[in-house]
Structure 1
């Protein structure tokens, strides 16, 4: 199932914000505590009717106040969505005065204004070690129906990727529908795309009405409503490749909505974001969400540039046409036009007399790379070399252009720029190598958002990494591969990069694990993926970053790169029940009302039962030493469940982080049956701060073929 359109919610603040005049209207997500609502408003089992009664009551209050003040009557408040599972509350379009009236209603907790979410946007199957007819992709394993809900910016149901040949009937437990909309009918769904819904009331209320002559008012939406309905419809897995960056939980509707989903037994996979290489940029960091970083596979699209002085440099290109095998003159700076402007290849800056028949060297900046290739083509150039700025560094991803183009990193670009500036008649030839496999991989994408989490550093985020760079993805035929109006091409697939690409990989793997283990909870699936992830690349060296100057570790890739075939048989799992997450929520440094918002209403915190993030039964360890470390210690307890061999013995192996000593008790876990739970404690004693603010290690339980690994991150604050 897919939910669509780029009309999506994100709430940035938990406190109510008043904007504009009293009669101006804004869209809000309203959090309510049903246990405190007046009996005459509450309708058992009917949230829509309950909240419509709330809206009706504040409309009456507003009208009475208008009569008393003899002011012009305002338009009635409008109920948009009533939420059943994502949160306890509703969304509505309200004036400032109506919002003030709502605050007086019993059960009101808070109102947060809407904002738009940002999308975090092959040989993946082979790279992940999945083989048709074997292991997780065996016929017996695939016989179990698992439903994935994809909440994203749209869908094209006619695409070949949604063909349902050979699939079984739609599961009888499915409660969803295929909603009609602009150029979307019930017949667009089938046995693979079993349902589709569009949510756009929030967008239309806050931004503008959708022009159906230009946009699709269908599943071709509003985020919280989509999560809420997906859970009601019966999905097993939710894939959310969207986010806005680090946001505290009460104001993060993805965190709040996904908690409701996880409580209902739905696994939630989310993208970490594309704000690297900077630290503490990871988003979607709630511990109940699987937060996915992004990395390269072993596939690339190399292009070789041979300069007239005999030197060669390698870049990347998707161009599949004829190579420029014979030397072609290079145009750069004054030899292309105005030196100060022509280097960026902006519209009107290239001199056709100088550029015609030449390869133009262009500098990359914030403006469209595709547009630069258009300007080169317009000036009769025959090719383009696009060079990263120093800020962009050496990371280069594949993109479509209008003519033969090679993209270079900043370092290799310096070689080309120096030659083009100094040679009397600089020339170059280009050979496009097509698709090449076998490069060192995985390698972390520099742009992948990094930890530690600024929302709760006591939980390591991201959780894992997965393929997300230069991924072959389905593409709608009505949008060109570049997205530019001037680009008239139509393609069924496109090359995309971002954590928006890695997140669905993990969602799909989670569905395979769910099909093999129907009784596993979301936390169990998450644990299996984390404890079996690997940290060495295909050359048996530690996973590095594309930019070799950037160090990697748990704050870059979490537990490591996912390994589906190992995850299906992890040996031990770290499970977390919903009640434990509630204890964690109780321990957060938020107000009582804010905690109730996260929990979805009706939260009662025990006096001594609250826990911190490090005390969750999480498959990783974050030791944060605050206010000095000399002889300070932190102790965490963990409980593992045997899902491997009934009678088995696990021995601990440690990779101790610098600056601490680590004690594990007991060092051996002896199991005598499946499903048995055993606990152990880990104590980290701070000895001295290292030269950096963090150090890393691991704790691994080993028994025969099983290696149940948990990363350890130590930070000093």
Structure 2
């Protein structure tokens, strides 16, 4: 029996990806869409907030009618601001108004793309004691908004000392100003979901057994015009946003409704909160029960990304901000965004200030350093990693030898052996397409690129081979576990060593006057300890952030490789940080049920400080790259997510949301004109208060984050203050365990924290003293608070 391969669609696009390569989409016109952020709302009534926006614009555009016609969106719930079409000169006039905090051009971003829940310890195994899934009541009642030895028992703070200063000096009177941009998706799972929409008829959104929609829900269900949808007690709300998008750029295949035309939005939403579906699989692969991490949570869908004419997708910044603002007003608990960008300030910060946990995908431009997206400190930025599942495929040569690759090939009626044609480089294959009918091609993709680019180029090659009548392809490249869309033909990925052995067989056969042949078996499904995991995926974007180099990003890693979830009315594998994001969103929702009083910062702290950094065999987690290396905080943040440990961290690092505002004002970069980036004026009187708070451009490390990053550490010792809150035993005693960064002396005072009440806060100081002069480079360490009885620890 032959094989048929239609591997998982890999949304390695950019919604939370390397969007430092992003360019504004669309031609420069007389007017641009600008996003204006104002100081604190002056009115609680949303209508009065909008009226104040009209009044401000009227002073610049000369007339209320012109102001009303110029405004595309009025942001009035999570923050005060608006999106308006303006000339550059008009934007300059608005920028100097005293109530304006920032003005920037809207931009376009792109998307980023289930064994995984059992792998995370969130299966129905009747834990003793009950695990997070049981104690979290499967997130019943939580509203999720969707757009698309281990270190056990301790609280650990990741410490990174940065010797080479990469930041710029801040102009104290300036914050930011730039036009609206469009970005791309990265694929996510969450409850309040922003992305490419939803396919509500999927079994993953069945509402059987659900009670009434929570009374606190204030959103709506906009069925739409083309491909209208129906909400139910599972999908309780749905809206779509496209006022900022050029209509000519939207594909004819799109739906003018919240319906998903691509599958990305459905996949991520079902990963986050899909109902239980038995016997789900991709043509028999990955068979089992499909479900989301928070299977009883309700979903609110906000479609902000659109399939483009000519391929790809885009998500306009102004639309995304409006969706987040509406989600805040609608009453969601979690926001999950698998989308590229810079964190969507001020909307995302406005959501956090309202108590909403915001989760972003980190991007798919790895393993290149400094590609991480959405690196603002108030959100959870997620990297992607592998799980303990693989799909080995036997490749049988004509001489009887069997080699192994990876594929999503499944059984079909295709006959056995086919002629094998070997090429030294995949780049030359298109020149010989007319000679490859009914043959299987072997080629080497030797030019290493970002994993997303490599997967895209492989898919394009396979599509051309399919059109030429080829029966299949064996591609030697790195990475080999991100399986491409095979365009309906047999395709297998192998490493360079296996590829070399197959090529040598072909040469020997040809030299002997024989025709080399090969047969590819269907893929098998292997799960468990024989698959080394987790590994940080090659495509997962890496830190440090170019925008915020003095923060540790990403925050955490979660499963994001070959994740099985719903796509329309079937199930499919996808890979991307978009897939990792909804895993974290779902876990955050479960934590919200167990700890309803926890702030977004507390939830983030619990996740980051209880993460693990070793695999099941006790060895350090690796990061896929060339060469493969041991992972560090720029690959995975605090480590790999551990849901059940996060439920009971013992201690948390909480943050006053106002400290984030101070951080933003002192760390945003400035430019000299509205056509540049981040030009934002400080309100009068703000500078003295901010400096008094200790949060400034050179003191970013004073934010009470579960990580510490010291930029430009030189001869002078640096002291960093942190505050931890007791959420464990009423009487808890914790001892500091220090692993100093190489070349740095690290001291903690006090070294013992003795809590006498739940909710009590205690302070400590960490002093970093360089032991010798160093020019450039990063070094890492950790601080772990260990409960004296070993019950809890955070790192």
TM-score range, shorter chain: 0.7 to 0.9
- Structure 1 residue runs of 5 or longer lacking an equivalent are 1-5, 64-73, 245-251, 334-338, 478-491, 711-717
Contact 1:572–1:641 under 8 Å retained in 2: yes
User: Contact 2:548/2:667 (CA < 8 Å) preserved in 1?
Assistant: no
Residue 196 of structure 1 corresponds to 238
Distance of aligned partners of 1:413 and 1:223 in 2 relative to their CA distance in 1, 3 Å threshold: same
1-side partners of 2:685 and 2:223: how far apart? 36
Higher alpha-carbon deviation: 657-666 or 594-603: 594-603
Give the structure 2 partner of residue 277 of structure 1: 367
Q: Tell me the residue number matched to 1:349.
A: 432
**CA apart distance, 1:55:** 4.1
1:145 maps to 141
Aligned to 1:178: 221
Aligned equivalents of 1:240, 1:681: Cα separation in 2: 35
* 1:225 Cα offset (Å): 0.4
Cα shift readout 1:590-648 (whole Å, capped 9, x = no counterpart) = 5699999699999665142231221111111223334xx34x32211111111111112
2:645 aligns to what?
A: 566
Per the alignment, in what secondary structure is the counterpart of residue 329 of structure 2? helix
Structure 2, unmatched stretches of 5+, are 1-12, 147-193, 260-303, 305-318, 446-453
Q: CA, structure 1 residues 538+678, in 2 after alignment: closer, same or farther (shift >3 Å)?
A: same
Q: Which residue of 2 aligns with 1:480?
A: none
- SS of aligned partner of 2:547: coil
1:282–1:450 contact (8 Å) kept in structure 2: yes
Query: Would the aligned equivalents of 1:662 and 1:683 in 2 still touch at CA under 8 Å?
Result: yes
TM-score norm. by structure 2 comes to 0.74
1:112 aligned onto 2:143: no
CA offset digits 1:134-168 (Å, max 9, x no partner): 42222773475111111112211111111112222
Two-structure CA RMSD over aligned residues (Å)? 3.7
Q: Cα distance, 1:294 vs. partner?
A: 0.4
What's the offset of the Cα at 1:409?
Answer: 3.3
Count of aligned residue pairs for this structure pair = 647
Alignment of 1:6-25 (within 5 A): 24-25=30-31
Please identify, of 255-264 and 681-690, the stretch whose mean Cα deviation from structure 2 is larger: 681-690
Task: Return closer, same or farther for 1:127/1:43 CA change in 2, 3 Å cut-off.
Answer: closer
Alpha-carbon distance in structure 2 between the residues aligned to 1:534 and 1:7: 27
Show the counterpart of 2:751. 667
Deviations 1:51-88 (A, max 9, x none): 2334445443699xxxxxxxxxx998521100124443
Provide closer, same or farther for how the CA distance between residues 311 and 238 of structure 1 changes in structure 2, counting only shifts above 3 A.
Answer: same
Deviates more, 1:457-466 or 1:379-388: 379-388
1:498 aligns with 2:562: no
Structure 1 counterpart SS, 2:786? strand
Matches within 5 A, 1:272-671: 272-308=362-398, 312-322=402-412, 327-333=417-423, 344-346=428-430, 349-352=432-435, 355-364=436-445, 368-388=457-477, 392=478, 396-397=482-483, 399-424=485-510, 425-438=515-528, 439-476=531-568, 492-547=570-625, 548-588=627-667, 590=669, 606=689, 607-611=691-695, 612-626=699-713, 629-630=714-715, 632-671=716-755
Instruction: State how far apart, in whole Å, the 2-side matches of 1:257 and 1:127 are.
Output: 34
Q: Which has the larger radius of gyration?
A: 1
- The answer as to whether partners of 2:740 and 2:746 remain within 8 angstroms in 1 is yes
Whole-angstrom CA distance in 1 between matches of 2:413 and 2:537: 29
Partner of 2:85: 93
Residue 482 of structure 1 corresponds to none
| Aligned ranges 1:172-251 → 2 under 5 Å | 172-183=215-226, 185=228, 188-204=230-246, 208=248, 214-220=253-259, 221=304, 222-244=319-341
Cα deviations across residues 648-678 of structure 1 (Å, max 9, x unaligned)?
Answer: 2111112222111111111111112211111
State which of 99, 118, 121 in structure 1 corresponds to 2:113. Answer: 121
Task: Name the counterpart of 1:687.
Answer: 771
Which is worse superposed, 451-460 or 98-107? Answer: 98-107
Q: Distance in 2 between matches of 1:104 and 1:667?
A: 49
Task: Give the conservation status (yes or no) of the 8 Å contact 2:670–2:680.
Answer: no
Inter-partner Cα distance in structure 2 for 1:118 and 1:81: 21
| SS of structure 2 residue aligned to 1:46 | helix
Instruction: Supply the distance in 2 between the matched residues of 1:608 and 1:577 (Cα, whole angstroms).
Output: 15
Q: Deviations over 1:407-429 (max 9, x none)?
A: 22344333333443453132323
Question: Retained in 2: the 8 A contact 1:239–1:269?
Answer: yes
Higher relative contact order (CA 8 A, sep 6+): 2
